Amino acid sequence: MKTTYIEQNSKSILHKIDNPRLPFNWGANPYRGCLHSCIYCYARYTHRYLDLDPESDFETTIIIKKNAAQILRKELSNPKWIKELVNLGSICDPYQPIERKYQITREMLKEFSRYKVPFTIATKSNLISRDIDIIAEMSKDTYVDVVISISSINDQIRKQIEPRATSTQGRLKLAEELSSFGINVGILLMPIIPFLNDSDEDLEELFSEISKVKPKYVIPGIMYLTSSPKKRFLEFIEMVYPKLLSNFKDYYKGRSPPKSYKESLYKKLMKLRQKYNLHEYKSSYTNTSSNNQSKLDSWF
């Protein structure tokens, strides 16, 4: 698959996020589009703002914000900025493959460190290990939270739904490595997809493996399908798991599965979390602007 990279200069990097369930009010993205090609990705819709096709162009046309670090420095040095928590990679993974060449994420981390601004990163890539030096040093006196996203213990399914991301075992090793440097590490256990990665056996094994790397918390989340990824996802099911197509169409008449399914799954996950002593999300960060305490227990 041919990938096109477009360099752009941005006028701004920090953007406001208004969601009381989240512990952060700000996001920043060094790239737009994502080469990981996750078929369920909600962020595909953002390519519409670039007059690009969210279904076909999101993982084939990557926008590189070449001046991101310089603009971030300008914004963080503004006297009106009060050092709120920033989600680095709020729309697209900041550690996708092109980061090896451009190192924009690394330069942005240097700016967060320069101004001691708290941040959180969610990623599916082991490339973040390259920046352990900055993240670990900053963790000593600033709130830093790294979240590793994991979807399935079954790597065959993982390859199908996240074809270009780091393997599940690679992500578990990454979580263990980051923790060994004193970095606060959590696990995003998502998306849990009905009929694909939600079997009792797979979930039991996944929780068992996660418990071995001792994350600070685990946040489970079921798959939501908005209009942008739904068509693509159902086409994937029709091609790879045709016998399940009617099940998915029935479950995803809206954005999420039936309430009865979600309640049953949530109870199952809570039992597994207790069995393996995996904690709920409790942020030690206090939002200085609104004093909201996040209720990010799960994405159900």
Q: How far is CA 222 from CA 9, 16, 160, 244, in A?
A: 36, 25, 17, 17
Instruction: Report the percentage of the chain scoring pLDDT > 90.
Output: 80
Report the alpha-carbon distance of residue 149 to residue 289 in Å, rounded.
28
- Check pLDDT > 60 for residue 73: yes
Report the alpha-carbon distance of residue 78 to residue 61 in Å, rounded.
32
- Check pLDDT > 50 for residue 299: no
Domain boundaries, the chain: 10-29+66-275
C-beta separation of 149 from 123 below 8 A = yes
pLDDT number for residue 289: 46
> What's the whole-model pTM score?
0.91
**Residue 211 belongs to what H/E stretch?**
helix 200-212
Q: Return the CATH architecture of domain 10-29+66-275.
A: Alpha-Beta Horseshoe (3.80)
Give mean pLDDT, residues 208-218: 96
pLDDT number for residue 287: 54
pLDDT number for residue 94: 97
- pLDDT band (50, 70, 90) for residue 173: very high
In tens, the pLDDT along 85-119 reads 999 998 899 999 999 999 999 999 999 999 999 99
The tokens for 198 are 């939600």
Long-range contacts of 104-108 (CB under 8 A, 24+ apart): 104/30, 104/31, 104/64, 104/65, 104/66, 104/68, 104/69, 105/30, 105/131, 106/130, 106/131, 106/134, 107/68, 107/69, 108/13, 108/28, 108/30, 108/68, 108/69, 108/72
pLDDT averaged over the chain?
91
C-beta separation of 54 from 42 below 8 A = no
In tens, the pLDDT along 45-68 reads 788 777 787 677 888 999 999 999
What is the CB-side half-sphere exposure of residue 291 using CA atoms within 13 A? 0
In tens, the pLDDT along 263-283 reads 999 999 999 999 999 998 876
All residues at 6 or more sequence positions from 200 whose CB lies less than 8 Å from its CB, including other chains:
268
- Check pLDDT > 50 for residue 133: yes
Give mean pLDDT, residues 245-252: 97
User: E-assigned strands of the chain?
Assistant: 4-8, 15-16, 26-28, 31-32, 61-65, 86-88, 119-123, 144-150, 185-192, 217-222
